[in-house]
Amino acid sequence: MSTVLFDEPGPKARRRIRAATALGTLAAVALVALAVRQFAANGQLDAARWQPYATWPMWRYLLDGLWSTFLAAVVSAALSMAFGLALALGRVSPRAWVRGPAAAYVEVVRTIPALLLVYVVLFALPRYGLDLPLFWKLVVPLTVSNAAAYAEIFRAGINSIERGQTEAGLAVGLTRLQTMRLIVLPQAARRVLPSLVSQSVGLLKDTSLGFIVSYGELLYSGKVLAAYNGLLIQTYLVVALIYLVVNASLSKLARTLEARQPTSSVTLRRRIARA
Amino acid sequence: MGVLLEHLPELWQGLIVTFQLTAASFAGAAVLGVLVCALRVSPVGVLRALGTAYVETLQNLPLLVLLVLAFFGLPEIGIKAEPLVTAIVVIAVYEAAYIGEALRSGVNSVSKGQGEAARAIGLTFGQSLRHVVLPQALRTVVQPIGNIFIATTMNTALAGAISVVDLTASAQRVNLVEAQPIPIFVGAGVAYGLIAAAAGFVTGRLERRLVILR
């Protein structure tokens, strides 16, 4: 343990660390005990209230919801990555009339809540004759908003490729487009892969907006289930647990990919965080 | 345009609620975020584990799930609060994970030699933190924290799902009455854009003044 803040602890510091360990453990245990007591005092720990979640039909219903979540997340991720890549290419284009609109899209969309976009698709578009199926009422706003986020990730990746690479490509007679496609993009894609996975965790979290459009994803399934069996806190806790397991696995994948990056990914991450 | 002016009082009220939600939850998140960061960089294993568990849990749960769980679940175990208060607390707890991580990346970006030099000239832990490490750490995270502020503003829109009438929810309500979605939603979008632009302007200025070139 050697960071900017500490050296290897000496005997005195080790004593203090032991004391803090004991106190920290005590505080954590007390917190859990308090929560359990609160649950028990209100009868929420009764076996009858948890027993349904030991049965298969309940889980099958929730896993169906999880499948719909995946479907919405995968389709929106694919669409918004493609759209985002196009926007990123637009933003690094040498032509101002391409750069301007792409930049405007990204800057504007990044400041609008996804929920507002959901309402636009839900209430505004039907008035103008565009009544999308339920699935697309969730996927379209998610795509619109996440494309901007993916665009910034791709742009940071493209900008992180040393200029000499582009110059070399142009020097051997490739066109600008060929240089981008054959030399810059493959390297950029590799570098931003961990960030793409992290952003996809964010997108998967966003699919919970299906709760509002009544698209049967995981959170909405939980709502229906809770209305049916009246086990509000149990149901939403189980739903939360499922989200946690799925997203934590994805986040772990992002970290693994990050660890495999050769160099400079820390600076890149910082650049993406700033973008 | 007319419809916007006609419903200005409701929309204005919604905007005020959005401001309240953002300001209160961001302030809470800042305080809690400092605590989370402190846990994660502490030399005590148990505390580091607690900090990591906090960040991992909160960053991997959708905010809407937390809001719904708190709004419908907490009364079941005898904890009742106003929806506005529930929303503020939940959003603060959620964003604290992000602020904690931003601060931690700031602390980690200070080079090790700085801390070693501070200790070598005999500064105590508190002194080296206050005079050497923190000033550099905070300056590097101005921009990320600004982005978290903007994200917080956008995330407050979800409070509508637990019956808090913020800007998005009031735009939605006005639209239900007037059925003129375009001006109403564009108006609300512009308001969010202005908040974000103001936040971006302030952090941009701050960063230019504070930036450390390494």
Output the average pLDDT for chain B: 92
Cross-chain Cβ contact B154/A114 below 8 Å:
yes
pTM recorded for the entire structure: 0.90
Residue A273 has pLDDT above 70, yes or no: no
Give the model confidence (pLDDT) of A93-119 as tens digits.
989 999 999 999 999 998 999 999 999
| C-alpha span between A196 and A81 (Å, rounded) | 9
| C-alpha span between B72 and B75 (Å, rounded) | 6
As given in the structure block, the two tokens for residue A144 are 């619109």
| C-alpha span between A116 and B168 (Å, rounded) | 6
> Hunting for tokens 């298969």 — which residue is that?
A56
As given in the structure block, the two tokens for residue A192 are 């931003």
Residue A2 has pLDDT above 80, yes or no: no
Q: How many CB atoms lie within 10 A of CB A189?
A: 14
Residue B96 has pLDDT above 80, yes or no: yes
Cβ neighbors of B125 (< 8 A, separation 6 or more) are: A5
Which residues 126-155 in chain B show a CB within 8 A of chain A? 128-129, 133, 143-144, 147, 150, 153-155
Cross-chain Cβ contact B60/A247 below 8 Å:
yes
Distances (CA, A) of A181 to A96, A151, A166, A186, A188: 21, 16, 11, 7, 10
Which residues 169-198 in chain B show a CB within 8 A of chain A? 171-172, 175, 179, 181-182, 185, 188-189, 192-193, 195-197
Distances (CA, A) of B185 to A6, B2, B34, B174, B196: 52, 14, 36, 10, 16
pLDDT band at A78 (very low <50, low <70, confident <90, very high): very high
pLDDT band at B213 (very low <50, low <70, confident <90, very high): low
Give one word for A129, left, alpha or beta, with left for phi > 0 and alpha for psi -120 to 50: left
Q: What is the mean pLDDT of residues B97-124?
A: 91
Chain B within 8 Å of A168 (Cβ-Cβ)? no
Q: What is the mean pLDDT of residues B87-92?
A: 97
10 Å CB burial of residue B34 (0-12, 13-18, 19+) is middle
Q: Looking at residue A268, what is its pLDDT? A: 65
pLDDT band at A8 (very low <50, low <70, confident <90, very high): confident
Chain A within 8 Å of B213 (Cβ-Cβ)? no
Q: What is the mean pLDDT of residues A119-144?
A: 90
Chain B within 8 Å of A54 (Cβ-Cβ)? no
pLDDT band at A265 (very low <50, low <70, confident <90, very high): low
Which residues does chain A have within 8 Å of residue B60's beta carbon, measured at their own beta carbons?
201, 205, 243-244, 247-248, 251
Give the model confidence (pLDDT) of A177-224 as tens digits.
899 999 999 999 999 999 999 999 999 999 999 999 899 899 999 999
Residue type, B172: Q
Residue B123 has pLDDT above 80, yes or no: yes
Q: Looking at residue A97, what is its pLDDT? A: 94
Q: What is the DSSP string of B48-109?
A: HHHHHHHHHHHHTS-HHHHHHIIIIIGGGGT----HHHHHHHHHHHHHHHHHHHHHHHHHHH
The answer to whether A201 and A247 are in contact (CB under 8 A) is yes
Q: How many CB atoms lie within 10 A of CB A163?
A: 8
Please state the ipTM of this predicted complex.
0.90
pLDDT band at B199 (very low <50, low <70, confident <90, very high): very high
Q: Looking at residue A136, what is its pLDDT? A: 94
Q: What is the mean pLDDT of residues A109-130?
A: 89
Query: Taken in order B106, B111, B112, B116, is the CA torsion positive or negative?
Result: negative
Output the average pLDDT for chain A: 90
Q: For Cα atoms A152, B159, A275, give the angle at the middle one, nearest 5 degrees.
A: 15
Q: What is the mean pLDDT of residues B124-137?
A: 88
Cross-chain Cβ contact B76/A20 below 8 Å:
no
Give the model confidence (pLDDT) of B131-172 as tens digits.
999 889 988 899 899 999 999 999 999 999 999 999 999 999
10 Å CB burial of residue B86 (0-12, 13-18, 19+) is buried
Q: Looking at residue A1, what is its pLDDT? A: 45
Q: Looking at residue A263, what is its pLDDT? A: 57
